[in-house]
Each structure stands twice: as structure tokens, then as C-alpha cells.
Amino acid sequence: MQKLSEADLVINPDGSVYHLNLLPEDIADTIITVGDLDRVPEVSKYFDKIEVKKGKREFITHTGYLGKKRISVVSTGIGTDNIDIVFNELDALVNVDFETRTIKPTLKSLDIIRIGTSGAVQEDIPMGTILASTYGLGLDALMHYYEQNNSAEEKNLLARINSHFSKIEGISPYLTAASNKLLENIAHDMAKGITVTAPGFYAPQGRQVRAKNAVSNFIAQLNSFKFENNRITNLEMETAGIYALAKTLGHNALSVNAILASRVKFEFSSNPNQIVEKAIKTVLERL
């Protein structure tokens, strides 16, 4: 079995993985990811017992029990560049033997649920909605560095989207579906739609403050796409990377979005914490 080099998989002197600062025994098989590190205790305050509190940089982890279920909550920070780090290191923690630096013969699939914040691009999705992403559509570059194995359904939907977006130059989107199992178990009654993952918050999400925006009618281009019962519902900065890397590595992923903004009504919530709290409670009740 080929040994992973010290440069490819970086393990700290205490045996923990480089950025997450975690030992293999520190994480559960069910993982909640949040962007904001201050959201980690907002999730773990509902745990009956917390057994691990560790972190480094923006990557904070709490592991504990909700009843008999062991759960980890991990902050990713903002953006798919951080998702690259978090997902590769979570996967290494369960699927690589850190003693021998070899890939384990039997691979584990984690259940990974993001609880994030997002802006809606459809008129009928108001602030306060808790929305599950059926697909993540990445407008960033992360997945162009990985081999992907997309289904015929994903390829067909992406082709329709690409022809719709012909006016956005230089962007080559990627698209991956949510885990069907997690959609059914956690999101059966939630609003649903395709989530666009942008490589920024301002112009990459169609916002203009002082720097001029090169893509005109960005929100209208997104919300006018329709194919069968698929439409684009919201914008944020991690979901597409999460769905695509989870699939590449053999894990199940679902993204649950607390809708804080209506981009078509030009509104942003004055009470975002209340909406995030509702998303956290809804997900935890269903795990």
C-alpha cells in the first residue's frame, strides 16, 4: 500500500491533522459545518455532553452527544478554498491510517450537513426561509483541480445552465447534487432549490458598492433559469464545493440555508441570529 508523504498529508507532531488540529478520535460520523466560528457554540449549546473542544485559525470543532448520537460541529470560515482544507482533512481523519500513512482498506462515509446563511434570488423566498440546496452550482474554480464523476442528470442540468449563462464570460461552472438520503431525512418539508456558490460576496453575488460590476443583470440571469422543476433559489459561498468534494470523497452532504437577504426585494434581515437559530434547531431535531 502506497505511503502518503509528509508533504501531501501534513500531520502535526502531536498526531493531529494540520489545519483542523484534530486527532482521528476527535470527530463523529455525523458532522455539522458552519461558516462562522461563533456559530459553533450556538450549535453545541444543544448537546447533552461536549467531549472535545479544539481549534486552530478559523477551524473550531466541538464534538459531543445529542442524546445517544455523537455529533461534531466544525467551522469552515468563508469560501470554497477553506472547504478544500476542511473536507480533505475530515476525510483523512476517517479514511487514512495516521500511523502508517496509508489509505484504509475499508472507507467510511460521513454524513455532513452545512448550516449556513444565504441570500435569496426568487421573489417567493422571503427572508426567514430555511432552504435546502438540491444542487450546488459552483462559480468558483475549486473543482477544476479535481477529477469529478458526475451523473448524467447532473451533466444535463449543468449543460442547460451553461447555455442559459452564455453572457457570463470566463466562468466555467460545476454542479453536484445533494445526498438524497439527507434531503429525505432532514429537508423533506423545506423550501428547496439550486444554490449558487460564488467566489466572493460583492460583485460575485451581483452586489455593487463602489467598484463597478462587470456582469450586468446578474441576479436576473440567475432567477430566470428554469429546467423541469429546477430553479436557482439562492447565493452563498461554500455549498457547491461541499457537495462536489463530498461526492468525490464518498461522503453524504446536505446544505441548509438560513435566508438572511432577499436580493430581489433589496432587503437584509435586521435579526439574522433568530433565523440561524431556527435553522440550527430544525436540523438538530432531525438528526
Ligand X SMILES: O=c1cc[nH]c(=O)[nH]1
What residues make contact with ligand X under the rule CB under 6 A? 117-119, 201, 205, 235-237, 260-261
Distances, alpha carbon 232 to alpha carbons 15, 82, 128, 188, 252, in Å: 43, 24, 18, 18, 22
Nearest-approach distance from CB 73 to ligand R1P, in angstroms: 12
Q: Decide: is 237 part of the binding site for ligand R1P (CB under 6 A).
A: yes
Options 238, 262, 269, 275; binder of ligand R1P; rule CB under 6 A: 238
Question: What are residue 197's DSSP bridge partners?
Answer: 138, 236
Options 27, 34, 232, 254; binder of ligand R1P; rule CB under 6 A: 34
Q: Decide: is 117 part of the binding site for ligand R1P (CB under 6 A).
A: yes
First to last CA, the chain: 36
Number of residues that bind ligand R1P (CB under 6 A): 10
Nearest-approach distance from CB 104 to ligand R1P, in angstroms: 30
Q: Decide: is 201 part of the binding site for ligand R1P (CB under 6 A).
A: yes
**H or E, element range at 281:** helix 272-286
**Contact indicator for 113, 186 with CB cutoff of 8 Å:** yes
Of 10, 29, 196, nearest in space to 116 by CA = 196
Nearest-approach distance from CB 118 to ligand X, in angstroms: 5
Nearest-approach distance from CB 84 to ligand R1P, in angstroms: 14
User: Phi then psi for 180, rounded to 5 degrees?
Assistant: -60, -40
> How far is CA 7 from its chain centroid?
26
Binding site for ligand R1P (CB under 6 A): 34-36, 78, 116-117, 201, 236-238
